[in-house]
Structure 1
Amino acid sequence: MVVGVVILITYVLTLLANAVNILFIIFDRKLHKPMYLLICNLAVVDIVYTSSASPTMIGVLLAGVKTISYVPCLIQMFVFHWGGVMEMIGVVLTLEARHGLMIGAILGPSLLNPLVYCLRTKEIKWLQSIKENLAASQSPRKQCTSD
């Protein structure tokens, strides 16, 4: 019971803190820079992660509901996996964009076009994340059995 209350309070505080973070970034024009967009993306990822697992834990610990049906279980796993993919994409795209621009600056524009490099990297990462997400949601899971 005590653990459920602690998780509930932590969940609510996490949602409020990330919502305030996102609102600050949206309404302050000085924060419309790539670094703050990454922070905003990570705040959304944090909301997705906590919203995928915490309500189920709170239901188990406070309400005593010990089962979850098949479809909500699949949705929970899909959303949790989607949050991980969002996190990886945000960080990788930021790093790849900086890496591509550094290579372009070092080697010169005639050898490598950083814009084309970054666009190709983004396309590959998005297609890879869609493929991983669909593969994870299509296979039946033993965790989602209603025994």
Structure 2
Amino acid sequence: MKKLVAVYVIIMTCGFAEEYTQADRIFDMQKMAQAMQDIQSGFFYNNLDIVKAGAKDLKETVVKIGPIKKETENKDVYERWMTNNTAMTKRIQRKIAQNTDDIVARFSAGDATQALQFYSKISSECMKCHVRLRKW
């Protein structure tokens, strides 16, 4: 009986799970932009807590980014591949997450120059996605 209830709960949870929408993506992009601004403010004010908070927000938000329903349901194989390149997205997400850790580590160690270089690498990864996938 318990197994039956557990299976029912799982099915209902999956059935009511909300899909990732364009509005969600826009909100997440705005959160990432704010996190990048927070990191930069932490650099300018020489405040490690602000840098850590911005890095934490960025790292938590970047993993949410993914294709929206319209992109995944597209029937044209080439178009779907161009707009839903999940391998590239995952690679960019991993690099951004690693670079945020490096920013905090370098800034904590007092090496603001290296931390700024990792910040620049994150900006480069952001632009890579926007240019290649979003066609900016």
Class of the TM-score when normalised by the shorter of the 2 chains:
0.3 to 0.5
Structure with the bigger percentage of helix = 1
Which structure has more RCO (C-alpha within 8 Å, separation ≥ 6)? 1
TM-score, normalised relative to structure 2: 0.43
Question: Which structure is larger by alpha-carbon Rg, 1 or 2?
Answer: 1
TM-score, normalised relative to structure 1: 0.41
